[in-house]
Every structure is written in structure tokens, then in C-alpha cells.
Amino acid sequence: MDPYEVPYQGFFYDSQSSDIVAKVIFNIFIFVSIVFSISWVLSRRRSSSSPIFDEHFPDVSMLLKGRGVRLLAGYRTGVSDEVLYVHTGSQYICMVKKWYLMEQVRQNTTHLRIFTRAPENVRRDWRGLAFMDPFTSGYSEFRTLFDLSLLNFPIFAHLDGARFGLQYFDNSMEIPQSIQLDALKFSQLALHILFATVLLRTEHGKPIDHVSEEIGKVILNLDGLLHSLLQIHVDGRRWSDLEPDASATDILKTADALFNPLILLEIERATAAKMEEQSGHEEEIDGWSFVPSPQSAWITTSLLSHLLSYKSLLEEEEGTDFSFLTLRHISHSLLELLLFGKHTLAVCLHTCLSVMAERPDWQARLRKEVAAHIVGCQYGEGSTDTQITDECFEVEAACLPWAKALCMETLRFTVAGWPFNALFEATRDGQVSNHNYNAGDLILLNEPLVFHDPVVWFGAADRPAAEVYDSVSSRKRPFNPFNFEDLHSPATAYLVSNLLLNSGICHPPRAFIYRLLLVTLVELFGRGWKLEVGGLLPRPGNTKDSTCRFHALGCSLHPLTLLPPRS
């Protein structure tokens, strides 16, 4: 072998070549390490929230199928591992593990709309909160406009709405001699009143001769629509043989098709009235003494027309920009108002009229008060009409003190919004136009807090019931909502006083429901209608026992009979 011949050392033996290979291998190693590191970090982030699904959502696939939660775009943890946010593309859903976290979530969320309940198969310790789609960045401005319109809604429009709603409801009944008021009829009565107040543009002071067939169809479709939406909020799905998996999105599309023609018609009327107003103003400037006739004046007699009027006023006087406003904003807000307003007003009517049916002396007192007000109201001239002025609605006014006390006490323990049909216990303040109505006593019926969701109180098969400390036996026992002492225990104080009373849900202002309830009572009893109940209602055995003061009067309530005045 030639000593000067370099032996074969294999490939890449050269030092320069080996440096290049080392660098390539090192870069590949770094790249793979970075990829694995990123994957590990992502897996850790997902694993941090995966116990939520593993422990509390044993069948999470069902949550994403036919339960109103579809097209899952992503999820993230919020305040803690006990709060879960889900974004579905058009809706935000927040589920909390403990009730007290609702308040914390509510304070940190600007678009909280309504509470909802998780489906049975994923509901163990969790409850859900649904967030409506905020549409655009101007959504909060529109909500402000909508709330201000409700607060500034004219008094006479409440009166016309209640009167026209009652007439529509009366004319839709097949038996004019009497009306059996069960839970379904109370719901229909509330919907007729709200529909006439919110959407029906009528001439002030004119009676209704007949029920339009088109209006009847709209109310019927709207009733089914609200019922379907309520089922989705309460049960997580719509229970229907035809459309078992109908989602909230489908219902909202149906609402758009139902409301948009009414909204467009009102916009056309408002535009025509505005142009006529401007034309009259121009003639006045040219020297003409032009006074618009009542027929051409822009008189708002529905909440929808008032909303458009208020929008125009803010645009002209304050320069507010509502260019983002779409038909969808108005349609969905009207749907929310009708949904919450219907169930709130229905519960108020059911509660108040049930008491009146049980107390004929209260009925006589109310009829006497309304009759005296018609002929002797200090704010208006006497007439045979049940017209009441703006001043009559004020709590401080001396008008109709007994009717106001009934309405305010009824409204005080009727929760507007969630949970539906829930009632809470409160005490009388007794301050109604200097009349003291047993201040400090429990109000009216004192029904249990929640009827629609016994799981809240009694527990489910996979979750123990809520417990309270029994001072007599010195042991813990299951919470009983029918027990007066349990309702005042520290364990339930937060839920009763904070969660239900200060839920912060989108619902009609209580002043709006109060006015509708007041004018409905005035219309009913001012015309001489009477209420009867077929049977005695259950009474506590020992009325002096504090544990019996809170009894379930509404659970076995017989249907009421509404009798028209004798001719």
C-alpha cells in the first residue's frame, strides 16, 4: 500500500463536510423540538380543560347534536376551571359549575342575555347561560335605544294595548258567556295584550269591531314560535314530532319572516308621516298657517312605532348614529320582549286574578274603586270610559291605591325572565299613596320559589339534594321549598335574594309590566267582570305556625271562570 495514498475513510470524513452535516442535523433537531414543544404546550392547554368534559360532560357528543349548540368553533376556560365558554359561531354559551359563579360571570360579560339550562345528559353540576349574538359593535347602542323606548312609552299606549288585547282575546273565544282561565288561557291573554301593545298600530280611542283573520294567524304563529323558543331555553331542544331537532337559529329565522313585514310597514308609515311633517313645516315657513290633522300626525300607538319615532328623535337632536341598525336587530329584540313579557305578564295575571277569585270582597272593593275613579278623578274629567291619565299611574298619586297595591305586590314576587314561572317571597312595604296595607307581612300567595325545575331543590339521581341545617334535630336534611324556615336559611339566602331578584336578564322594565297589569285590572273590573273559582284552595293546617305560612297555593289551583257583566 502506497504510504502517500490516503486510505478510504468513508463518506463525510472530511472535516468541512462533517460540519455541514452536523449543522443540518442540528437544525432538523431544533425544528423537531420546536414542533414537539408547541404540540406539548397545546396538549397541556387542552388537557387543562379536558377534565371539564371528562368529569362533567360524560356524553359531550350529545351536547353538540340536536341540542341547539352546533358548529363548535372552539372553547376556552374563563375565570376558573369551574366556568366554561363555548362559541358556536352565532351564539355564546357559558356553563358554570356553581350557582354563585353566575354573578361573577355576569359582571364580566357585556352581552349576557338569558339564562338557559343544560340538557339532562350533561347537566350534573352544571347550569348554562346563553348569550345572544351581539350582531355588530353598535348592539349596545341599540339596546340603550330599546330600553329608553320602553321607559318612555306613552301611558295611553299601555291603555290602548290592554284594551285592544282584551277585546281581541274576548272575540277569539267561542263561548262569550264565560271564559275558563287555565294556564293556557292566561298565556294567550298575556300574548294578546302584549301583541296589541307592541305591534298593533290602532287609532286611539276607537273600539274593535271584529278580529282580523290575518292578525289572528299572526298571533297563532307567534304563540307557537314563543312556545318553541321556551322549550329550547328550558329543555335544550324543541320537542316536536315534526321537527325534533329544530334549533334556536331556525326559530329566529321564522321570527324574522313573521316580524319583518310588520317592521317594514311601520317604517313606511313613519317615513310618510315624516315627509308630511316636513312638507307642512315648509309651507309654514312660506307664510302658510298649516296645522296637521290628527289623521296625518305621527301619533305612536305601538311600541314598534314609538321605537322608530324615538330613533328619529335621537338622530335629529343628538346626532346619534344608528346606521348599523338592521331589521334583524328589531326583530330579535321584539321576540325577546314578547317572550319574557308574555311569561311575566301571564304569571302576574294568574297570581293576581287567583287571589281576586278567592276574595270576592277584594273584587267588590276594586270595582268600587274603579267606578269612583271614573267619575271623580282629579286629573281628568269624569266619563263612562275607564280612561286613566299619566298622573294616575304615579305611585304617589291618590288614584286607584288598592289597584296599585295589588299590582305592585303581584309584580314584586314575579321574577321577570329566568327561571320562567318562578316566584319569590317578599314583604309588603305598605307605602302606597299613604295607605298602609299590612306593612311587613308576607305578600299575597307566598308561593314556592321554583316550580319548573325541582332538580334545583331536590337534586337529581346523580347529584345530592341541597341540604339545610335543621335547628330542631341538629342535623342536615334535604332542602324543602315548601318550608318557610328553609327559604330563610343562610344556605339559600344568596340564591333567593341575589340570583333571582338581581339576575340582570334582558327583560321588559317592571314599570312596563306594572302599567299593563294595572290597566288590565282597570279594564276588567271597570266593566264589571267577575271571577269565580271552582273549589276551595288548600290552606295550611295551623296558620300560626311559621312553617305553614309558605304553602303551595298554585300547585292545585282550579281553573278560574271569568264572567262578563250582566246586561
Q: Is the pLDDT of residue 389 over 70?
A: yes
For 89-117, write each residue's pLDDT tens digit. 444 556 655 555 655 665 555 444 434 44
For 143-157, write each residue's pLDDT tens digit. 678 878 887 888 778
Q: Is the pLDDT of residue 378 over 70?
A: yes
pLDDT grade for 276, boundaries at 50, 70 and 90? confident
Average pLDDT over residues 294-303: 54
pLDDT grade for 265, boundaries at 50, 70 and 90? confident
Q: What is the pLDDT of residue 186?
A: 80
For 240-261, write each residue's pLDDT tens digit. 444 445 555 677 778 888 888 8
User: Cell 344556605 sits at which residue?
Assistant: 491
Cα–Cα distance for residue pair 297/295, rounded to 1 Å: 6
More confidently predicted of 269 and 244: 269
Q: Is the pLDDT of residue 551 over 50?
A: no
Q: Report in angstroms the alpha-carbon separations of 369 from 54, 109, 364.
A: 62, 46, 9
Average pLDDT over residues 468-495: 52
- CA-based torsion, 503, 505, 511, 516: positive or negative: negative
Cell of 237: 331542544
Average pLDDT over residues 357-361: 78
Q: Is the pLDDT of residue 198 over 60?
A: yes
Q: Is the pLDDT of residue 463 over 50?
A: no
Question: What amino acid is encoded at 563 in this protein?
Answer: L
Q: What's the pTM?
A: 0.59
Q: What is the pLDDT of residue 357?
A: 78
Say which DSSP state 546 is in.
G
List the CATH code of the domain at 141-563: 1.10.630
- What mean pLDDT value characterizes the chain? 61
Q: Are 351 and 423 in contact (CB under 8 A)?
A: yes
Q: What is the pLDDT of residue 140?
A: 63
Cα–Cα distance for residue pair 221/215, rounded to 1 Å: 10
Element (H, E) at 114: strand 114-116
Q: What is the pLDDT of residue 23?
A: 73
Average pLDDT over residues 480-509: 43
Please give the share of the chain, as a percent, with pLDDT higher than 90: 0
pLDDT grade for 298, boundaries at 50, 70 and 90? very low
Q: Is the pLDDT of residue 30 over 70?
A: yes
Question: What amino acid is encoded at 416 in this protein?
Answer: A
Q: Are 534 and 558 in contact (CB under 8 A)?
A: yes
Q: Are 232 and 226 in contact (CB under 8 A)?
A: no
Q: What is the pLDDT of residue 214?
A: 73
Q: Is the pLDDT of residue 131 over 60?
A: no
Q: Is the pLDDT of residue 516 over 70?
A: yes
Q: Are 262 and 303 in contact (CB under 8 A)?
A: no
Q: Are 343 and 184 in contact (CB under 8 A)?
A: no
Average pLDDT over residues 403-408: 82
For 226-240, write each residue's pLDDT tens digit. 877 666 554 445 544
Average pLDDT over residues 461-475: 55
